[in-house]
Structure 1
C-alpha cells in the first residue's frame, strides 16, 4: 500500500478507472481496477458517426466519468474546469494528483500529432514543474511523462472529437469514507448496466449503437473516400486512403486507446467473476464467460485491423469492412445472451 498522500505512478488497463485507482491508492485505499470499472457503470457501447470522411468514433462505454464508484466508496469528488495552466497548478497545490480529461491525439508522447483524436481520455497530473510543464501519470505508459503547459492545455481544450470533447474537465478527489461491500453493490451495478446497454434510450448507445455501427460500416467504402493524412503505428506521418484510416482508427479504439484490449469486454468479465465470488452465485460467472468470449471476438478484430488496416488495395480494405460487420454482429449476439441472463438473474433475485 502506498503511504497516504503520496502518489505513485502505475501502469493500468483502462485510463479512467486506472487514474481513479492511482488517486485512491495515494489516499491509502487499494482497490482492483476492474471493481472500479464495474461499479462506475460506464461499460457499454457508443457509436458516433463523423462528418465526411473523418473517422467515426467507437467507444466501449456509454458514460464518461459517471462517478458512481466514487459515490459507493464515499469519496467526494469535486469537478473543475480550470481555464489556464496556473489554475490547474493551483488545484495541484492541495492534492497529490488531479484527474484530467484530455484529447489523447494531442498528447505528444502518443505520437499521433492530432491526426487521430479521442477526447474521452484521462491522465493524472501530479506536479507542476518550474519550466512551464507538468508531470503526467498516463496509465498506458510505464513511467510518468513530462508534458509542456501549452501541449497539456491544447489537449484539455481540444474540439477535435465531438461529441466526446474534454471540455477542460478536471476532478479532485477527497478522502474515502467507507469500503463498498461488493456482494451488495455489485448486483446493483449489474442491474444498471443491463438496463443501460439493452435499452439506452439512444440509437448511438448500447445494443442500438452496435446495430447502427453495422449499418454505417457497410457504407464506409462509399463514405470514406480520397487520400488523407494519418499517423501509422510507428508514429510516422503518412498519406493513406480514408477507408484505411477509418479501419486503423477502429482498431486503435478497440485495442489501443485505454480499453485494456477487447473494447473493455474482458475487464467486465473479470468484474462479474468477482461479483460471482462475492455473492456466491455462479450465474454471474456464466455471464462473465460470455463477455470473455465477446472480448476475444473484439480483440481478434482489433488486432486484424491494426495489422492490415494500413496496407493493401481498396478491395482488401472492403473485405476488412465485411469482417467488421460480421464480428460486430457476432459479438452483439453473445453480449445480448449475457445481458439477457443477467437480467433474468436479477428478476429472480
Structure 2
C-alpha cells in the first residue's frame, strides 16, 4: 500500500531530525525536533582539512544519522542503496517517504551550482512528481520542491565532499512501537554525548576538532590562495579569492546549512532545557545556558563571515581569520565546562 497520503511536509531546523520528525508524524507519532536531535547523539563538532585551496569542512555534528532516537522509539529503520530513480520509486510503494542522503550543493533549488558541496545533507523523497521527476521534502524550505531524476541521482552519488559523500544511502522507517520516557533515556543520551565530544578518539572530532580548527585557521592565508569560482548568497556564479571562499563556506556551515544558526548550539540548548523540565535537575538548565552562550559566539562569527567574506579584499580578510580561531577557542572553553559538568549527571 502506498503511504504517500499520510506524509505532510514540515519545515524544520536540522535536516536529519526534521526529516525524521516528518516521517514519524506520518506514522502517528509527534515529537519535538530538539528531542530527536538530542536523543540521536550526533551533536558535537567535526573538522576536516581539505587538500590544496579547497574549503576545509567544519560541521556542528560528529555522527551522520546515528539513528539512536529511532531505536529508543522502537522504530525499525532499513538502510538501502538504490542506484536509480526506479529503485527509489520501488521503495516508495510501501513507505510514505524515504529519507535520502544527498550533496546539498548539487540540488538545483539551493542555487549553489555544484560549487559548494556538502554531502552530509538529508531530504525526504516523497513520491514521483511526474515523468523523470521526484517530489522532495526539504525541511529548509516552506514547501516541497520538484527535482529532476537526473539531478537527484547526481546529488545522491556525488563524490565532491569527502569524507561526507552520500554514497547512495537511503532509509525506510517503520512505525514507532513505544514512546521514550525522557527522564529515563535522556540522561543516558547526554552522558554518551559528553563522552563522545570530550574524548572522541579522533583529532578531527569534538573538542580535539575545535582545537584543530583554532590551529588551522591561521594557516588559511597561506594555503587558500588563488582565484576560484564560487556562488554568492544570491546564487550568482562569481570569481573570488580562495580565502574568501573558505570563509564564506564556513559561514554557510555555521548559519545556513541546516543548523538553525549557531552550529546547532542553540538547538542542543533547547534539548537540555527540555531535560531540565522533565527531570527537575537544574544542572541541565545550567548547561543549556552555556550552549546558548556558545551558540551566540558561533552565530556572530557566521553572520560576520556571510556579510564580509565575498566583498572584502584579501588583505582585509585577516581579521576574519583571527575571529575564526578566537571563536573556536572561546566556544571550546564554554562547551568543555558544560560537557564536563553534564558528564556527572
Same fold (TM over 0.5): yes
Number of the residue aligned with 2:203: 203
Number of the residue aligned with 2:310: 310
Task: State how far apart, in whole Å, the 1-side matches of 2:312 and 2:282 are.
Answer: 46
Task: State how far apart, in whole Å, the 2-side matches of 1:130 and 1:253 are.
Answer: 33
Shift of 1:129: 2.5
Task: State how far apart, in whole Å, the 1-side matches of 2:280 and 2:224 are.
Answer: 49
Task: Give matches, 1:1-349, under 5 Å.
Answer: 6-344=6-344, 346=345
Q: Quote the RMSD (CA, aligned, Å).
A: 1.0
CA-to-aligned-CA distance 1:157-210 (integer Å, 9 cap, x gap): 000000000001000000110000000001000000000000000000000000
Task: State how far apart, in whole Å, the 2-side matches of 1:241 and 1:318 are.
Answer: 13
8 Å Cα contact 1:4-1:28 kept in structure 2: no
Misfit runs of 4+, over 6 Å: none
Task: State how far apart, in whole Å, the 1-side matches of 2:119 and 2:249 are.
Answer: 14
8 Å Cα contact 1:24-1:30 kept in structure 2: yes
Shift of 1:128: 1.0
Task: State how far apart, in whole Å, the 2-side matches of 1:324 and 1:66 are.
Answer: 28
8 Å Cα contact 1:4-1:27 kept in structure 2: no
CA-to-aligned-CA distance 1:107-136 (integer Å, 9 cap, x gap): 000000100000000000001123210000
8 Å Cα contact 1:5-1:28 kept in structure 2: no
Shift of 1:5: 6.0
Task: State how far apart, in whole Å, the 2-side matches of 1:312 and 1:274 are.
Answer: 42
3-state SS of 1:142 partner: coil
CA-to-aligned-CA distance 1:225-254 (integer Å, 9 cap, x gap): 000000000000000000000000000000
3-state SS of 2:123 partner: strand
Shift of 1:316: 1.1
The count of residues paired between Structure 1 and Structure 2 equals 343
8 Å Cα contact 1:9-1:144 kept in structure 2: yes
Task: State how far apart, in whole Å, the 2-side matches of 1:281 and 1:293 are.
Answer: 20
3-state SS of 1:218 partner: helix
3-state SS of 1:160 partner: coil
Any stretches of 5+ residues in structure 2 without a counterpart? none
Task: State how far apart, in whole Å, the 1-side matches of 2:32 and 2:229 are.
Answer: 39
Length-normalised TM-score, structure 1: 0.97
Relative to structure 1, is the Cα distance of residues 288 and 185 closer, same or farther in structure 2, using a 3 angstrom cutoff? same
Length-normalised TM-score, structure 2: 0.98
8 Å Cα contact 1:4-1:25 kept in structure 2: no
Task: State how far apart, in whole Å, the 2-side matches of 1:290 and 1:63 are.
Answer: 22
8 Å Cα contact 1:136-1:147 kept in structure 2: yes
Task: State how far apart, in whole Å, the 2-side matches of 1:129 and 1:85 are.
Answer: 12
3-state SS of 1:100 partner: strand
